[in-house]
């Protein structure tokens, strides 16, 4: 079992280009797994972790409802945003500048074969990360992601999650609102959940956070929770 993870920070990159890149990495791993079934000599599968910041984009999951996008094509253009219907779980979300997006492309057979556990550990990574800034992140039953003030009229989401897996290989991941312009969420019904707000670390703390510092904290908690041997910087 290979518990090393190749780490790559893509900086700011177009959503579609990044989606295509994830797909290539996932397919490479799936191909190795198919070959391993046929060959006596087993080749280890690789794991990857991508950090990225996207230009303004709205993405709709495979089971999402298009009516949760409140803009037409012309309005999208005016806002400098694009829209994609994609192959992850979940409904609609927004990605944009100031948001920390993480895409783990892991062969879960190197770690554990349990998608529910995978999602809960991803949530835990974010909960522990924002706790270092004095923010109490929580889970909301039946609503994947990380929230603040669950069970109150002020419940608000700080981190969205949506994944896809094929042959136990994951793609897509989490989007943590660090210094995000929350106005862009007004153009959608985030994650298809009406009447619940969205927030960011900046909004909660009253000051911008250092994104590079937040990423290091995410990796620190990810390494412990997933029992990663090491991150290999690409």
Consult the annotation and say whether 161 binds a ligand.
yes
- For residue 194, the model assigns a pLDDT of 66
**Rounded Cα distance, 136 and 146, in Å:** 10
- For residue 89, the model assigns a pLDDT of 84
- What CATH number is given to the structural domain containing 203? 3.30.930.10
Domain extent at residue 92: 4-233
Q: Which of 126, 158, 178, 191 is catalytic?
A: 191
Consult the annotation and say whether 152 binds a ligand.
no
Consult the annotation and say whether 1 binds a ligand.
no
Around 55, how many Cα atoms within 13 Å sit in the side-chain half-sphere? Answer: 13
As for how many domains the chain has, the answer is: 1
List the chain residues with pLDDT less than 50. none
Q: Is 159 a known active-site residue?
A: no
- For residue 90, the model assigns a pLDDT of 82
CA distances (Å), 115 to each of 71, 93, 101, 170, in order?
33, 21, 19, 9
pLDDT digits 0-9 by tens, 164-198: 999 999 999 999 999 999 999 999 886 666 667 99
């Amino acid at each position: 079992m290979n518990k090393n993870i190749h780490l790559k920070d893509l900086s700011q990159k177009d959503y579609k280009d990044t989606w295509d890149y994830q797909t290539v990495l996932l397919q490479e791993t799936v191909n190795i797994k198919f070959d391993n079934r046929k060959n006596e000599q087993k080749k280890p599968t690789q794991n990857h972790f991508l950090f990225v910041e996207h230009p303004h984009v709205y993405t709709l999951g495979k089971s999402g409802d298009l009516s949760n996008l409140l803009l037409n094509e012309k309005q999208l253009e005016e806002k400098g945003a694009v829209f994609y219907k994609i192959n992850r779980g979940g409904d609609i979300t927004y990605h944009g500048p100031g948001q920390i997006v993480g895409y783990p492309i892991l062969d879960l057979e190197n770690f554990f074969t349990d998608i529910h556990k995978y999602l809960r550990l991803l949530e835990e990574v974010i909960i522990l990360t924002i706790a270092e800034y004095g923010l109490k992140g929580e889970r909301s039953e039946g609503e994947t992601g990380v929230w603040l003030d669950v069970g109150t009229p002020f419940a608000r989401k700080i981190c969205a999650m949506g994944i896809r897996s094929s042959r136990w290989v994951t793609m897509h991941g989490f989007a943590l609102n660090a210094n995000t312009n929350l106005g862009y969420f007004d153009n959608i019904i985030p994650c298809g959940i009406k009447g619940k707000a969205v927030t960011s670390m900046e909004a909660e703390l009253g000051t911008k956070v250092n994104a590079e510092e937040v990423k290091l904290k995410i990796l620190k908690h990810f390494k412990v929770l997933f029992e990663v041997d090491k991150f290999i910087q690409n």
